[in-house]
Amino acid sequence: MSFVIGIDVSTTATKAVIIDRQGDIVGIGSASYGYDTPAEGWTEQDPHLWWDAAVAAVGQVLTDNDVAPSDVEAVGLTGQMHGSVLLDDRGEVVRPAILWNDQRTEAECDDIRRRVGGERLIEITGNDALTGFTAPKLLWVRRNEPEKWARVSHVLLPKDYLRYRLTDELAIDVAGGSGTILFDLGARTWSPEILDALELDPSLLPATFEGPEVTGTISKAAAEATGLGHGTPVVAGGGDQSANAVGVGAVSPGVVALSLGTSGVVFATTDTPQIDPEGRVHAFCHAVPGRWHMMGVMLSAGGSLRWLRDALAPDASFEELVGAAAEIPAGSDDLLFLPYLTGERTPHPDPRARGAFVGLTVRHDLRHLTRSVLEGVAFGLRDGLDLMIEAGLPAPTQIRASGGGIRSPLWRQILADVLDAEIAIVQTEEGAAYGAGLLAAVGAEWFGSVEDACAATVTAETSADPSELRTIYTEAHARYRTLYPALAPTFHSGRD
């Protein structure tokens, strides 16, 4: 028997998935953890949590499925993007990692635009400077914690800290690297011009690799801790969205992926870098060698539904909450929800954006609130898709969807109607971890390419088609789009 393992270091848990040569998932192990919010808009996490969780998840899945260390031929890594992991010259963590959804770096983003030039920044990196990205976090630490910055010798992303603990190697994949906005997007490696403008020493940054490339092997200490075999290859992998795209087969132009988890993402593969001149849509390297992608990101997608449940119906299950919302007609009786609960990235890169219900009356109840949240998230995803179409993406006829929110038949139908596209689901819900496993399978030479791996293992089935409700949602979306411009002055008039 031979297997590969995909490991996903997410914001709330680390998951390990074992995959066999047929592409079937043999077993799943998982260990969860929390994160800290030391100030409003701040999110941090202790990197040691990821290592402890990986040890537990890998050990669990190997033991539960009676898989011998020698049967695992390669390991692939994926995880949350943009987080700043700072290590000293001994490889010790200098401070908690600042995460992807942290909003403290507005001033540093302005500084990056001033140093590089706004247009030049987008031209090189494919992106504007946004609070979620890694580069402004580094400038924040340098400015606000100089004594800690003086100790920093290495900068990694979360999954790459796990790689370091597994292999003793400092490395990063090109998909994750491009999400730091320190990358030359076309060259697929670090940009000397950006580093020079930001006065960042290139020695801080690890070597870059394509997704299926081997970056190191399991060390003796990591083998003893995890149960993996000493010397097992570890491939570069990819950031969570590019790995998820591999997991659902969105590896060639024409296949669009949608991820509906805590955040929401619309993802389209391209043969060349396609850049929105205003930087409203992200452009990153794909985990597939020689490919890039456009991506629209909203910060509070499934997170909006979780907030509603926790705030107003903590004893209800998500199934109960959404099931009741199905009793309400499309359009939620003219109630609109703006899902900017933690600021936003696409289409409004604004850390001060806030959520809102608009149109509330005494006739609205929890069912209306719930449905308007589902619809508001779909409208936000539509905003991102529209920008990608403006940038040159052909309007998709099928979108491959994954993530916890996709389990809801109602939400799938709303997405089909709002996005005006067939919603398809694949045979597994483990998109990112599964994609990391497929990258490992290519690294183990089970397949000649990532495209071959997906063609052999990924199948998609239609789950929802657009219905006659499209016309209702077209009108509702037009009203939704007026909300941010109308409310933005209020968002920006509060205290700093």
Q: Which residues pair with 173 in a beta bridge?
A: 209
DSSP annotation string for 208-226: EE-TTSEEEE--HHHHHHH
Judged by average pLDDT, the poorest of 87-96, 133-142, 262-271, 426-435 is: 426-435
Cβ atoms < 10 Å from Cβ of 348: 18
- Alpha-carbon span 11 to 53, nearest angstrom: 12
- The per-residue pLDDT for range 132-170, each reduced to its tens digit, is 899 999 999 999 999 999 999 999 999 999 999 999 999
pLDDT at residue number 164:
98
pLDDT at residue number 154:
98
- The per-residue pLDDT for range 25-64, each reduced to its tens digit, is 999 999 999 999 999 889 999 999 999 999 999 999 999 9
Cβ atoms < 10 Å from Cβ of 379: 26
Q: What's the pTM?
A: 0.90
Domains of the chain: 3-236 (3.30.420.40), 249-496 (3.30.420.40)
Answer yes or no: are the C-beta atoms of 101 and 43 closer than 8 Å: yes
Quickly list H helices, 254-400. 302-312, 318-325, 366-390
Position 495 confidence tier, pLDDT thresholds 50, 70, 90: low
User: 3-class SS at 14?
Assistant: strand
Examine the pLDDT at 496 and tell me if it is beyond 70. Answer: no
Q: Which residues are catalytic?
A: 240
- Alpha-carbon span 73 to 234, nearest angstrom: 9
Tokens matching residue 181 = 């906005």
pLDDT at residue number 357:
98
Examine the pLDDT at 242 and tell me if it is beyond 90. Answer: yes
pLDDT at residue number 429:
80
